[in-house]
């Protein structure tokens, strides 16, 4: 059984990906930061369908907790074969002139440093160079990396631009070590992350500007993530799938 670790998997895109991965036969490490009840619910749902999953708490912005997350995954499930870097945060909508350094530190540490640290630990386990069997890493970016999210979340958008660059660089760094690294860029997706930014109805406000004239679902993003995780995308590395309704 292949083993997948999904960060930020208690809700939204991460939760949909965890459920889909289990359906496809993966044992799933469901990482969460604070919402233990939501993570446990995902694990229970997987168990009810005959799958294998564990919930592991860790704040991926902290190096010691990232190390513990991967050690727990090793102990509870076994040798990792795939990582989905999904965890990320955004904060209240505002322009740059209102942002302080503390906010920038929170966003960049969670969205960039956390992804780097999780990928580092995955490479130690999956790389042929270190005795691993190869594997896949999928980074969840955002269409904001291309649009910039002016007057709303330019810090979040910039963090996702960094993830795009990281995806390209790491894919080349690991290409000969049996690890493929790809990215998914969701657009306006119906998840509760928009409430964190202060506008729960943001997708409905903006959907008329999307060529497909609707917001996307977490399930639609999960399908793209799991395609990149799987051998169905065996000749793709350093690539991106936009799940953005044509935006």
Catalytic (active-site) positions:
156
Which of 127, 132, 118, 126 has its CA nearest to residue 166? 118
Question: Which residues contact residue 97 at a Cβ distance below 8 angstroms, ignoring those fewer than 6 apart?
Answer: none
Give the number of C-alpha atoms closer than 13 A to the C-alpha of residue 144, restricted to the C-beta side: 20
Q: Name the DSSP class of 109.
A: I
10 Å CB burial of residue 6 (0-12, 13-18, 19+) is buried
Output the CA–CA distances (angstroms, integers) from residue 205 to 144, 181, 199, 213, in the order listed: 16, 34, 10, 11
Measured N-to-C along each axis, helices 154-174 and 114-126 cross at an angle, to the nearest 10 degrees, of: 20
Rounded Cα distance between 60 and 124, Å, is 17
Which of 181, 62, 64 has its CA nearest to residue 119? 181
112 near 163, Cβ under 8 Å?
Answer: yes
Coil, strand or helix at 139 = strand
Show the beta-strand stretches assigned E in the chain.
3-6, 27-32, 53-57, 82-85, 135-140, 179-186, 240-243
């Amino acid at each position: 059984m292949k083993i997948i670790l999904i960060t930020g998997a208690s809700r939204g895109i991460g939760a949909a990906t965890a459920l889909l991965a289990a359906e496809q036969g993966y044992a799933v490490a469901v990482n969460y930061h604070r919402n233990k009840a939501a993570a446990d619910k995902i694990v229970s749902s997987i168990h009810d369908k005959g799958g294998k999953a564990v919930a592991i708490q860790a704040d991926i912005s902290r190096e010691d907790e990232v190390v513990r997350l991967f050690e727990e995954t090793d102990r509870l499930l076994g040798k990792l074969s795939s990582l989905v870097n999904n965890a990320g945060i955004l904060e209240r909508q505002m322009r740059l002139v209102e942002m302080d350094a503390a906010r920038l530190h929170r966003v960049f540490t969670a969205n960039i440093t956390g992804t780097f640290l999780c990928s580092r630990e995955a490479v130690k386990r999956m790389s042929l160079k270190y005795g691993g069997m190869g594997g896949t890493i999928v980074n969840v970016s955002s269409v904001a990396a291309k649009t910039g999210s002016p007057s709303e979340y330019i810090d979040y958008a910039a963090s996702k631009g960094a993830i795009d660059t990281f995806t390209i660089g790491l894919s080349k760094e690991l290409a000969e070590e049996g690890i493929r690294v790809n990215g998914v860029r969701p657009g306006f997706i119906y998840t509760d992350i928009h409430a964190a930014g202060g506008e729960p109805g943001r997708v409905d406000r903006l959907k008329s500007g999307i060529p497909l004239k609707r917001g996307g679902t977490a399930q639609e993003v999960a399908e793209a993530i799991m395609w990149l995780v799987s051998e169905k995308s065996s000749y793709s590395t350093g690539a991106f799938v936009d799940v953005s309704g044509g935006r």
